[in-house]
Structure 1
Amino acid sequence: MRPVTPSPGRRETARVHEVRRLRDMIRTTIQRDGYPGGLLPHESELMAGHGMSRATVREALAMLRADGLIERTQGVGTHVVTATVTTGLAEAHGAVRPTADGLLDRRMRPRVLDRTRIPVPGTVAERLGVPPGTPCLRLEYIGLLDEEPLLVATNYALYPEAERLGDSPFTTDWYALMATAGADFGQSEFVIGSELADPLTAGMLGLRPGAPLLAMEQVIYDPDGRPFDVAFIYTRSDRMRFVSRAVVAARPPGA
């Protein structure tokens, strides 16, 4: 049987997908800090290492440059221009001690936008299990990592925790604030999705409108299982990665 030669249209479609796949592989390596010193290999090395043509490599690099992840400098090469934070989900929940290079390693600094006592809104009241209008503290801030905006968060905290949270210095991350305030918690729940940045949120985070965001709703419970804080958090998806690992439970013999 004679081999089937792809039509020009199919060849172009296949090449476009090769560009996409190469972009994804390089981006992942960038995000896990896989290039020593932030310097990418030369085009010829990328071609040989991935079995790609020069045109494919250049198009993939152009896409990464358009995303603001790399820059190409004549005589220097292609280098990473942004840092991505990789954090375990357990750390993001505040359930384990911060890692040396994770989200909660005390490099974060808040820019407080609002710290006001208000009646809890109806939708939040439902999540907290209290009547609408119950007093709460609304604390909204932009999280800066190395002075660059990473996330914007709006927290609605009930009293008595809110009393301590409202009076305590807020200098790094939310869990450090709770620790300083003596607001103990026993559980943390996240619902994580994706949203497109509206113009206002995009402006706060230094993004173009329509850029993808990690959208997170968090509920924090006290040691007795009472929910006392609901947060709506929007994080730059190009600057944040979560790591989760699960161990498969051993099956009983004969199962």
Structure 2
Amino acid sequence: MHAWGSRSDEDDPQDKTLRRLQDLIRFEMVSRADEGRARLPNEPLLMRTYDASRDTVREALRRLVEAGLVLRRPGLGTLAIGDQRKLPTDLPPPRTPLAEHVGAVPGRPRVLFWGLVPARPVVARELDGVETGDPCLCVDYVLVRGDQPVGVVTNYLRAGEASLLDETAFDSDLYALLEHAGIGFDAFDVAVQASRADRSVAPLLDVEAGEPVLWLEQTLRNGEGEVFGLALCHFQRELRLDFVGISRTRRRTAPPEV
């Protein structure tokens, strides 16, 4: 039986209460953005919803302003800054552009480089059947939503798949380009980490050097499970990836002794 109460072993319980309130308001902001609403509830409603004093709510909102997540204007209320929608991480269905899949405004990628390069050891380790020095296609581009840059992406593709691609057909996203070439892709592996924009990435993303960004590594697999593509990406910090349906790994058992 649970005994409802409170316990804190932290130095400043009030500050931790503020942190938790900030997190709840930020999560509500995201939920409202998914519904197409950018404005947060007013202070009295937030006070009632979270059973918090006016001073506590105002301080939580002030900290969200400091973090660059909301904007407060007299007469307008509290507005979310940037795009806070969740973006699905699953592969788009056949014949569906990525922009349509994630509910974004389409834009034509800005290609920075397209050409064959020798596979460096770290690339060769990821791409099945590729040795160091083997040719692979490097596609370096800025991913655009509408007319706004959202990511800087460098793809490395095996020469076999690369030979089927038509550069002139690269008008939306890599998935659509692969599908246009008849290249099947059934799965991918991804890793995401917080990072900062350096002096080469910052101008491409239209941010200041040192601003937070998302670093993402992705490998694409074909129907046979072979990795044929590697992507290294820097994304705007507003990008929110929605991972759903992740199952729990079953305990591995030792093979039976023969």
**TM-score category (smaller protein):** 0.7 to 0.9
Q: Aligned-pair distance for 1:157?
A: 0.8
Q: In structure 1, what is the Cα distance between the partners aligned to 2:182 and 2:146?
A: 27
Q: Aligned-pair distance for 1:192?
A: 2.9
Q: What does 1:84-95 align with in structure 2 at a 5 Å threshold? A: 84-91=84-91, 94=92
Further displaced range: 30-39 or 156-165: 30-39
Instruction: Name the CA shift for 1:24/1:210 in 2 (closer, same or farther; >3 Å).
Output: farther
Q: In structure 2, what is the Cα distance between the partners aligned to 1:41 and 1:244?
A: 28
Q: In structure 2, what is the Cα distance between the partners aligned to 1:175 and 1:20?
A: 39
Aligned to 1:43: 43
Q: In structure 2, what is the Cα distance between the partners aligned to 1:118 and 1:248?
A: 39
Confirm or deny: 8 A CA contact 1:168 1:180 kept in the other structure.
no
User: 1:37 is paired with a residue of what secondary structure?
Assistant: coil
Aligned to 2:244: 244
Residues 1:103 and 2:102 aligned together: yes
Query: Counterpart amino acid of 1:121?
Result: R
Q: In structure 1, what is the Cα distance between the partners aligned to 2:217 and 2:247?
A: 25
Q: Aligned-pair distance for 1:77?
A: 1.7
Q: In structure 1, what is the Cα distance between the partners aligned to 2:98 and 2:222?
A: 24
Query: Counterpart amino acid of 1:14?
Result: P
TM-score for the superposition, normalised by structure 2: 0.78
Aligned to 1:27: 26
Q: In structure 2, what is the Cα distance between the partners aligned to 1:104 and 1:118?
A: 34
Q: Aligned-pair distance for 1:69?
A: 2.9
Q: Cα deviations across residues 183-226 of structure 1 (Å, max 9, x unaligned)? A: 22233222333333333323322344444433222111232333
Q: In structure 1, what is the Cα distance between the partners aligned to 2:155 and 2:103?
A: 17
Q: In structure 2, what is the Cα distance between the partners aligned to 1:199 and 1:117?
A: 26
User: 2:233 is paired with a residue of what secondary structure?
Assistant: strand
Q: In structure 2, what is the Cα distance between the partners aligned to 1:202 and 1:15?
A: 37
Please list every run of 5 or more consecutive structure 2 residues that lacks an aligned counterpart in the other structure.
1-7, 250-258
Aligned to 2:119: 120
Please list every run of 5 or more consecutive structure 1 residues that lacks an aligned counterpart in the other structure.
1-5, 250-255
Q: What does 1:122-137 align with in structure 2 at a 5 Å threshold? A: 122-128=121-127, 129-137=129-137
Aligned to 1:146: 146
Residues 1:182 and 2:182 aligned together: yes
Confirm or deny: 8 A CA contact 2:99 2:105 kept in the other structure.
no
Q: In structure 1, what is the Cα distance between the partners aligned to 2:45 and 2:36?
A: 15
Q: Cα deviations across residues 101-147 of structure 1 (Å, max 9, x unaligned)? A: 75376635422221122112221012114121211111011222233
Instruction: Name the CA shift for 1:148/1:23 in 2 (closer, same or farther; >3 Å).
Output: farther
Further displaced range: 224-233 or 41-50: 224-233
User: 2:230 is paired with a residue of what secondary structure?
Assistant: strand
Q: Cα deviations across residues 155-190 of structure 1 (Å, max 9, x unaligned)? A: 011122112335342222221111112222233222
Q: What does 1:198-217 align with in structure 2 at a 5 Å threshold? A: 198-217=198-217
Confirm or deny: 8 A CA contact 1:98 1:105 kept in the other structure.
no
Confirm or deny: 8 A CA contact 1:89 1:243 kept in the other structure.
yes
Across the aligned residues of Structure 1 and Structure 2, the Cα RMSD in angstroms comes to 3.1
User: 2:223 is paired with a residue of what secondary structure?
Assistant: coil
Instruction: Name the CA shift for 1:100/1:183 in 2 (closer, same or farther; >3 Å).
Output: closer
Further displaced range: 64-73 or 117-126: 64-73
TM-score for the superposition, normalised by structure 1: 0.79
Q: In structure 2, what is the Cα distance between the partners aligned to 1:110 and 1:194?
A: 24
User: 2:169 is paired with a residue of what secondary structure?
Assistant: coil
Residues 1:226 and 2:221 aligned together: no
Instruction: Name the CA shift for 1:119/1:34 in 2 (closer, same or farther; >3 Å).
Output: closer
Q: In structure 2, what is the Cα distance between the partners aligned to 1:149 and 1:70?
A: 21
Q: Aligned-pair distance for 1:28?
A: 1.6
Aligned to 1:162: 162
User: 1:61 is paired with a residue of what secondary structure?
Assistant: helix
Instruction: Name the CA shift for 1:190/1:67 in 2 (closer, same or farther; >3 Å).
Output: same
Residues 1:56 and 2:47 aligned together: no
